[in-house]
Amino acid sequence: MSDTPAAVVVRRGAYHDSVALMRVSRALSGLPGVEAAMVAMGTELNVTILRELGFTVPEAGPGDLLVAVRAHDPGAAVEEAERQLATAHRPQAAAREQPPRTTRSAAAAADAGLVLVSTPGEYAFLEAYDAVEAGLPVMIFSDGVPVERERQLKELAEARDVLVMGPDCGTAVIAGAGLGFANVLTPGPAGVVAASGTGAQQVTCLLDRAGVGVSHVLGVGGRDLSAEVGGLSTMRALRMLDDDPATELIVLVSKPPAPEVARAVRELPLRTPVVPAMLREGGPDLTEAAEQALRLLGRPVPEWPSWPAWHRARPAAERIRGVYSGGTLATEAALITGSRDIVDYGDDAYTRGRAHPMIDPTLRVEALAAAAETDVVLMDVVLGHGADPDPAASLAHAVARTPATVVVALIGTDGDPQDLHRQAAAFREAGAAVFTSNAQAARHARSLL
């Protein structure tokens, strides 16, 4: 254990956004004399991580802020953390008028056409309800909304003739404008309805690679096709795209739906052809669904780019470990490989009080460090707006250091700000095999056993 002085400060009831906390943590970690730093909400997961890092953590709850530093001058580092947090939340000097006090009044003041809700889950329902009552479509980025509240909200949306995207809707593209985690896509004839953010990103990135643009991507939330919710947003989104003259074909992306909901969706009378991309045992994978869409549009199916790993002597691989940030990509990998050791670090259990792994690589870096020499580690790296601006900066170094064999599914387009080809080169130089198709990456990983 290090002899460097350490301090852990608890600020009761001081909520901060997880992305802001991650940025402050990174800034502190880069300061001279700072050996380790973590600024996070006091969730059970974050407390466990701090204790594993050797910090003595006082009693704290998920609504409390933890500032933990190990540094030559821990007091100064804590003061710097609090200064940065105060700066991040300082109101703009130009805002002289009384700000709106409700979502409805804010939307009216801005003449908004859509409301995006990104608050702690316990508050998201009321804000979204306010928007739907006002007759506005809403995208709920937040998770943690009870399923019965989701159903209630979507029933109200049916009455108000608007769309609810979410809860836990991470990706949408409306007429070229990306919301949440979104790739840079060319406009075109393919519409997407998705109960999966990363599943939608995989399909649209492959379509974009084949020269087929996208009209809209309407996320509906991962539970929409469950029996409890009944596919209310999915069916509304399908009808909306069916009425859109710019949409010639629709791809429906989801994990396995409830059978009765899948039947209701299939029986929906639509003029526009629908390609199902519903992951299930023995069904088509996301790449095969994208290829089917291309054929229906009369477009050729290209060879999906991949970059083989630099060869080095390794012992025989014994198991596949999945280290994923996308839930649907993780499900697809599990179906193809048959591995039960596929972890979705984007699951709610890992994101309470901390940034999503598409932004914060910490948990996946730790997983790579813990991998064995006889493991094949299969992982996704998702590019686009909202994601880590340079995932290779941290993950490629972790790939180079791990004793395991690594296979990367790189999800992105040539237009994404991270530069797909530069990212691919960095991971390949670190020793990984890189694929733009998650399904092909999973099959390659399976072939290594």
pLDDT tens digits, one per residue of 418-435: 999 999 999 999 999 999
Q: What sign for the dihedral angle of Cα 93, 97, 98, 102?
A: negative
The number of CA neighbours under 13 Å toward the Cβ of 365 is 14
Q: Please write the tens of the pLDDT for every residue from 379-391.
A: 999 999 999 999 9
Is residue 41 pLDDT above 90, yes or no? no
Cα–Cα separations (whole angstroms), residue 396 to 42, 270, 307, 320: 29, 45, 15, 19
Return the CATH architecture of domain 6-88: 2-Layer Sandwich (3.30)
Q: Do domains 103-296 and 306-447 have the same CATH topology?
A: yes
Mean per-residue pLDDT, 112-123: 88
CATH of span 103-296: 3.40.50.261
Range ranked top by mean pLDDT from 168-172, 288-292, 362-366: 288-292
Q: Please write the tens of the pLDDT for every residue from 242-290.
A: 999 999 999 999 988 999 999 999 999 999 999 999 998 888 999 999 9
Predicted pLDDT of residue 215: 98
Q: Cα separation of 243 and 227, whole Å?
A: 26
Average pLDDT of the chain to the nearest whole number: 91
Domain range summary for the chain, segments of one domain joined by + = 6-88, 103-296, 306-447
Mean per-residue pLDDT, 157-179: 95
CB 217 within 8 A of CB 192: yes
Return the CATH architecture of domain 306-447: 3-Layer(aba) Sandwich (3.40)
Is residue 312 pLDDT above 80, yes or no? no
Q: Which among 295, 324, 291, 336 has a CA at the least distance from the CA of 408?
A: 324
CB 136 within 8 A of CB 128: no
